[in-house]
């Protein structure tokens, strides 16, 4: 569906999956996302509305150059300044506007683009979750991996298009187009306002 159409009701068994809204992407690091300040108010609005049903993922980089499996080792050789030993204190933390929402929001750490390598799916299943509302960054990286993995596992996925950020206009636009054109039967897109209007009931929580 397109963003300007009414969004079908989002039931109580829904979770807001907020992807990697961390200090290291907001600050002027090698992985800086210049859009983050622009979309952060929308992300925070969505998270505040359903804080008890929000999962904040955090991308945890390698501790040092030389660590990582396979191509991830070369990845950190390309980005040595983004290893834990080089980053300033607090860089891995959520941005303050979101960190203050946890608890009740949950923080879930991952070391790759996708959050689905660990026990997230089991935890959501245990709570009877059937719908994921997705925000965060980067649109064409960790958000894309999160959305496709959720689709693989049969979740209803609603992407909050005005609560996404990237470091590239062109690849962000390409990812949104991909959601619409290729995955339209499994991925819905809507603005935060439309999502909140459809998700007005009290969520199940985590």
Does any domain span residue 203?
Answer: no
User: Whole-structure pTM over 0.85, yes or no?
Assistant: yes
Provide the domain count of the chain: 1
For 91-137, the pLDDT digits (tens) are 999 999 999 999 999 999 999 999 999 999 999 999 999 999 999 99
Predicted local distance difference test score (pLDDT) of residue 206: 57
Q: In what order do the strands lie in the sheet with 14-19?
A: 106-110, 54-59, 14-19, 131-137, 156-165, 187-190
Which letter does DSSP use for residue 80 in this model? G
Does any domain span residue 150?
Answer: yes
Does any domain span residue 76?
Answer: no
Does any domain span residue 33?
Answer: yes
Does any domain span residue 24?
Answer: yes
For 154-173, the pLDDT digits (tens) are 999 999 999 999 988 999 99
Q: What burial letters (b/e) apply to 148-165, b meaning 16+ CB within 10 Å?
A: bbbbeeebbbbbbbbbbb
CATH, residue 27: 3.40.50.850
Residue 194 domain boundaries:
14-56+93-198
Does any domain span residue 153?
Answer: yes
Does any domain span residue 9?
Answer: no
Does any domain span residue 77?
Answer: no
């Amino acid at each position: 569906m397109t963003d300007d159409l009414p969004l079908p009701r989002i039931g109580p068994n829904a979770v807001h999956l907020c992807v990697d809204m961390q200090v290291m992407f907001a600050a002027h690091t090698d992985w800086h996302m210049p859009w983050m300040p622009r979309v952060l108010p929308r992300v925070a609005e969505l998270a505040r509305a359903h804080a008890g049903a929000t999962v904040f993922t955090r991308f945890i980089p390698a501790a040092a150059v030389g660590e990582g499996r396979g191509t991830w080792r070369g990845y950190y050789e390309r980005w040595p300044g983004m290893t834990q030993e080089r980053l300033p204190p607090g860089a891995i933390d959520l941005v303050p506007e979101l960190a203050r929402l946890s608890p009740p929001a949950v923080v879930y750490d991952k070391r790759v683009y996708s959050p689905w390598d660990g026990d997230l799916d089991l935890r959501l299943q245990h709570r009877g979750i059937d719908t994921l509302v997705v925000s965060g960054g980067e649109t064409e990286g960790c958000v894309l991996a999160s959305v496709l993995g959720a689709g693989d596992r049969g979740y209803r996925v609603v992407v909050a298009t005005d609560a996404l950020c990237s470091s590239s206009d062109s690849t962000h636009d390409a990812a949104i187009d991909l959601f619409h054109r290729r995955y339209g039967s499994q991925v819905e897109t809507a603005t935060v306002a439309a999502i909140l209007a459809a998700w007005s009931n009290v969520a199940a929580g985590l």
